[in-house]
């Protein structure tokens, strides 16, 4: 479940259907500065429900809901109308997500085609 909190104080809760399909499976979620919006919503919900551990680096922090409003002149404006809140009340737009296990990727890793975040994720899954 995640919550869409609107500026007028209205809230809409979104609850997944189908139960916990990951029950009994060791689950990790890789995040970094490129994890934003829908990726953060899913990662935050899985984490808050204790379904998966977050591994990597802090996520981007893009949890706003925007709507396109047509203008009478034929133009349009995009307005932020709400923010996404995780089940435990974390404001994704303001804070992003901190990993449970921080693993950074260096320029040297990239040059050598190494992925220490994936390596750590696999290590955790197979514990």
The CATH code belonging to domain 2-125 is 3.90.226.10
What local confidence, expressed as pLDDT, does residue 17 receive?
A: 78
What local confidence, expressed as pLDDT, does residue 70 receive?
A: 96
Residues of the chain with pLDDT under 50: none
Name the residues annotated as catalytic. Answer: 37, 48, 62
What three-state secondary structure class fits 94?
helix
Instruction: Give the Cα separation of 122 and 33 in Å (integer).
Output: 20
Alpha carbons within 13 A on the beta-carbon side of 101: 18
């Amino acid at each position: 479940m995640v919550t869409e909190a609107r500026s007028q104080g209205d809230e809409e809760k979104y609850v997944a259907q189908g139960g916990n399909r990951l029950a009994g499976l060791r689950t990790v979620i890789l995040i970094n500065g490129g994890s934003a919006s829908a990726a953060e919503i899913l990662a935050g919900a899985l984490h808050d429900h204790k379904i998966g551990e977050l591994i990597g680096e802090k996520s981007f922090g893009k949890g706003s809901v925007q709507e396109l409003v047509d203008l009478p002149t034929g133009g349009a404006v995009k307005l932020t109308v709400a923010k996404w809140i995780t089940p435990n009340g974390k404001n994704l737009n303001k804070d992003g997500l901190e990993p449970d296990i921080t693993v950074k990727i260096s320029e040297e890793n990239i040059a050598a085609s190494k992925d220490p975040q994936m390596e750590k994720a696999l290590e955790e899954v197979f514990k």
